[in-house]
Amino acid sequence: MIEWPDTEREALNDDIRTGVRAALSEDVGSGDITAQLIPPYQQAEARVITREPGRFCGKFWVEEVFHQLDPEVRIHWHVEDGDQLQENDRLFDLSGNARSLLTGERTALNFVQTLSGTATVSADYARRVADTGVTLLDTRKTLPGLRRAQKYAVLCGGGGNHRMGLYDAFLIKENHIAACGGIPKAVETARSIAPDRPVEVEVETLEQLDLALAAGADIVMLDNFSETDLRRAVERTGGRAKLEASGNVTEETLVALAQTGVDYISIGALTKHCRALDLSMRLSIIN
């Protein structure tokens, strides 16, 4: 099981229940009329495979789909969240009422294909910088309603989580700085509002970096810094704060940025540019 703080794990469980309920509602609506073609007591078995390599994520969502739809459906797992997949790998088997299996198929696979897509992108990026010591972070650029789900998927792919939302850490950006009257004042006010929350300041120049360090920022986000300026920032900081590179991070630039010595690289593409994994469910009737 992927490690996550207990409070976030509880919130994730709530999100799973709520998200699955909403997904089933939009798909099933007043009832699956096509499934009614099948005799009501017909039993069946099904197996779900992946048609392409990737990183798996979505076990809890599948279990919740069939728990809400029909608790009598049995699931046998062949993989765990975070497992690397190869083409045609068997993910899980289902057995139970044929109507239930077919009604829940699309909702269950939608969650798995989306979250596995996120985990797969994260795994690809993480692999590229595995030897550098840098931690890759996601952002808040997530699918609406799937914030915790996608951030969990990023962990399954070997990445790390930035703040969950607007409530658990300060991220003081350009407009906040202007509205507060400067970096020192913004950091000072943040400390007075919530002394226990991390304070991160986004800067665009080395001079702003100096101001953020002097103000006591815990983390400084270096926005669109060149590779040369990132190295200067690392030297200038001397370990007084964690440094995060952000902006225009691509597969081509990732390794060079990681080798500058920054602690983190945040990448919106981990959650917003993911492509769903191609999955398939095969059903067989039990006579």
Question: Are 73 and 94 within 8 A, CB to CB?
Answer: yes
From the list 64, 202, 244, 263, the catalytic residue is: 202
Known catalytic membership, residue 106: yes
Known catalytic membership, residue 151: no
Question: Are 12 and 4 within 8 A, CB to CB?
Answer: yes
From the list 17, 128, 140, 173, the catalytic residue is: 173
From the list 223, 229, 236, 242, the catalytic residue is: 223
Rounded to whole angstroms, how far apart are CA atoms 146 and 271? Answer: 10
Question: Are 152 and 57 within 8 A, CB to CB?
Answer: yes
Question: In the beta sheet, which residues pair with residue 202?
Answer: 221
Q: Which helix (H) or strand (E) holds 197?
A: none
From the list 141, 232, 236, 242, the catalytic residue is: 141
Known catalytic membership, residue 14: no
Known catalytic membership, residue 168: no
Rounded to whole angstroms, how far apart are CA atoms 259 and 284? Answer: 52
Known catalytic membership, residue 148: no
From the list 106, 197, 242, 272, the catalytic residue is: 106
**Strand, coil or helix: 11:** helix
Q: Which helix (H) or strand (E) holds 266?
A: strand 264-266
Catalytically active residues are: 106, 141, 173, 202, 223
